[in-house]
């Protein structure tokens, strides 16, 4: 990394962010690659399932895993 691009000083603290930093800065996070992007799907579920899902910390990961398991089981049952 070039010396003028160092944001963490030798003491471990963040250095002052000067005009050069803000001239190159962009808002938000970088765009994800198309193959890594998620797809929004709206579904209607029963109220009791929604209540139980609210107790899960990472709903997206939980639902992804549950759907993957269900699809794998269905494919195995058909084979």
pLDDT tens, per residue, the chain with 79 residues: 444 457 888 888 888 888 988 898 888 888 888 888 889 999 999 999 999 999 999 999 999 999 999 999 999 999 8
Backbone torsions φ then ψ of 53, nearest 5 degrees: -70, -30
pLDDT, position 31 = 84
What pLDDT score does 3 carry?
A: 47
| Rounded CA separation 24/7 (Å) | 13
Give residue 2's pLDDT. Answer: 47
pLDDT at 74 (0 to 100): 96
């Amino acid at each position: 990394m070039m010396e003028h691009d160092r944001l963490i000083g030798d003491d471990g603290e963040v250095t002052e962010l000067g005009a050069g930093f803000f001239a190159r800065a962009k808002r938000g996070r970088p765009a994800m690659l198309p193959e890594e992007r998620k797809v929004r799907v709206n579904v209607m579920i029963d109220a009791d399932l929604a209540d139980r899902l609210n107790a899960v910390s990472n709903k997206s990961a939980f639902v992804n895993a549950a759907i993957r398991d269900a699809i794998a089981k269905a494919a195995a049952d058909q084979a």
